[in-house]
Amino acid sequence: MLYQLPKPAIIAHRGASLYAPENTLPAFQLAILQGADAIELDVKLSADGQVVVIHDQTIDRTTGEHGRVGELSLEVLKSLDAGSHFDIAFQGSQIPTLAEVLDNIGQRSFLNIELTNYDKITDNLPEKVADLINNYNLRHRILLSSFNPIALIRIYRLLPEVPIGLLSLPGKGGAWARSFIGKLIPYSSLHSKQIDVTTELVRRTQAKGKKLFVYTVNREEDIYRMFTMGVDGIFTDDPILAKQIFGVRNY
């Protein structure tokens, strides 16, 4: 399915996160309603080994409480309000599990799952995510990505048919990571920060048969610029705006 995405693809960053609290079911459902081509979401492990969907390593910013996700049980995480920080209209929205997300929207959108075990880079997140993808039979509807090379190598070995997206840090560190990991994993897409994207990078990436996806592109002029540079897709908080600008794209 990665190769059937429209160009440029609109990937809702943490769901339609301009319109609903990031990484919640309302944000994912809204992204689908708004016509996003794919949805990006972030996963990590709770203290009791459940795969939960939240970007930060702590719960502070998105719940108003304090603590590290990896030190809290699923029961505690589920009791938190992950909606009010965004808007009181979303009060009571929960931190979803990956199982809930796959169950609710796995058949309705293409998903980019980012493995965010950056606190504990050798934990069992890759095995648990691979099991869930297998259980829901969604190998054809997933793109896996991470800044953590160990997680990428492990999940690639478990799910060799699922495409890998190489998340690239900006600047020279990112270039090193690309060449190092690129030798170990046949990744399908490079996920670059907007500031690093040049027409030369677009050309070189596509000449290798890989897609170039750019994060995180929200301003109208930047969305337009990425479109004219020929990137394969953007991560955006605002699928509605991207759809307006990408109205004439190829399918």
Provide the binding-site residues for ligand G3P, judged by CB under 6 A.
13, 40, 42, 55, 114, 145, 167, 191, 215-216, 235
Residue 61, CA distances (Å) to 39, 55, 64, 231 in order: 21, 10, 6, 31
The residue nearest ligand G3P at its CB is: 215
3-class SS at 236? strand
Residue 67 CB, shortest distance to ligand G3P, in Å, is 20
| Nearest residue to 164 via CA among 142, 180, 148, 179 | 142
User: For ligand G3P, which is the closer residue by CB, 141 or 248?
Assistant: 141
Residue 12 CB, shortest distance to ligand G3P, in Å, is 11
User: For ligand G3P, which is the closer residue by CB, 105 or 217?
Assistant: 217
Give Dmax over CA atoms of the chain in angstroms. 48
Catalytic residue among 13, 85, 140, 191: 13
13 noted as active-site residue: yes
Q: Are 174 and 196 in contact (CB under 8 A)?
A: yes
Cis peptide leading into 8, omega within 30 of 0?
yes
Cα distance between residue 27 and residue 237, in whole Å: 10
55 noted as active-site residue: yes
User: For ligand G3P, which is the closer residue by CB, 68 or 193?
Assistant: 193
User: For ligand G3P, which is the closer residue by CB, 91 or 196?
Assistant: 196
Catalytic residue among 55, 66, 85, 191: 55
Tell me 59's DSSP state: S
Residue 240 CB, shortest distance to ligand G3P, in Å, is 19
Query: What is the DSSP code string of 177-219?
Result: HHHHHHHHS--SEEEEEGGG--HHHHHHHHHTT-EEEEE---S
Which H or E run contains 167?
A: strand 164-167
User: For ligand G3P, which is the closer residue by CB, 58 or 76?
Assistant: 58
Residue 171 CB, shortest distance to ligand G3P, in Å, is 15
Residue 213 CB, shortest distance to ligand G3P, in Å, is 8
**Residues tagged active-site:** 13, 55
